[in-house]
Amino acid sequence: MVIDKKKITAILLIIVSILILYGVHLVFQPFYISILWSVILGVTFWPVYSRALSILKGKASLSAIIVIIGIILFFLIPAILIVESLITQITFAYQALQPLIPELLDKLSNIIPIKDFSIRETIINNYKDLGNLLITYFTFATGNILAIVSQFLVSILILFFIFRDGKGFLNMIKSTGIMPDREVDLFIKETGDVIIAVLYGVVLTAMIQGALGGFGFWVLGLPAPVLFGTLMFILALIPLAGTPVVWLPASIWLIYNGSLGKGIFLLAWGIFAISMIDNFLRPYFISKKLGFHGLLSFIGIIGGMIAFGFIGVFLGPLLIAIPLRLCELYLKEEV
């Protein structure tokens, strides 16, 4: 039996290459989320960096540092203020609602008869347990602050090199000849278009809706406007859920308790201000900018969030958009 040394060598090289690639994956695995967020921030603020680079006459490192400091201040200061208000208002809302639970159940029983009093006791006891759950959650979140800070610092470091060396890295990829320059440019363009479309169509739209909702609660003197505004922001990220889950019950409750003017105002504010933003901005950026049907946008956002967490809001539509655009390009070439 003749042993083909070339085949054995090739098989060994393939096995070693697979093991090395797996080792590289293990090394990079803790930083995948940081890398993705760095890319999203890099694409979003690249025009700002280009402008800073032009003003500073090509000083790439200094431009990157200035833009990154601006990004940190832009996100960090509002985040600290919002989190501080959230913690205060969650505590206030919990303490304010606890004595009202029996009264709410009595009013509810007038609409929906509750014969089994054990259900009433279960609801009250579960609400009391909710306080312990919130305390446990905030303790857990505080305990993981080191991991969050580490991820944040890694993201900032990667973002610096994306700004400073992004063009050079792109030229290096093109010089390898692995992919034609046109495909590389198409991939970069599609990635940027998807990130910008999702950023404006989903995240920015949700932020505006949450801000308008919180403002409406604040104007009417309702409790915890930051808490309910944040809740509306989170719900606005989810297609088919939306902000009416918050402002509609609140307006009905105001009308039911005799505050007819406030209830009608909140209802009108929710329909013509909060929801109207969603009806115009989201379809414009998601469907028109991405160039595919709204159903695919829905699948991409929801499926991405289920598979990858919040980062999936960007990653889901991206994974759908790029293959569609590549197929469209090659079909045009064939014709």
Instruction: Say which amino acid occupies 104.
Output: L
Distance CA 44, CA 67 (A): 12
State the average pLDDT over residues 66-86: 81
List of long-range contacts for 282-288, beta carbons under 8 Å, 24+ apart: 282/201, 282/202, 282/205, 283/201, 284/201, 285/197, 285/198, 285/200, 285/201, 285/202, 285/205, 286/197, 286/198, 286/201, 286/202, 286/317
Between 42-46, 127-131, 167-171, the lowest mean confidence (pLDDT) is in 127-131
pLDDT tens column, 252-275 = 888 878 888 999 999 999 988 888
Work out the pLDDT band at 227, boundaries 50, 70, 90: confident
Q: What was the pLDDT predicted at 26?
A: 92
For residue 132, name the pLDDT band (cuts at 50, 70, 90). low
Q: How far is 224 from 314, CA to CA, in rounded Å? A: 30
Mean pLDDT of 202-228: 87
Comparing 302 with 260, the larger pLDDT belongs to: 260
Average pLDDT over residues 308-335: 74
Would you mind telling me the total number of residues written for the chain in this entry? 335
114/107 Cα distance (integer angstroms): 11
- Residue-wise pLDDT tens digits, 174-186: 777 777 777 777 7
Tell me what the pLDDT averaged over the chain comes to: 78
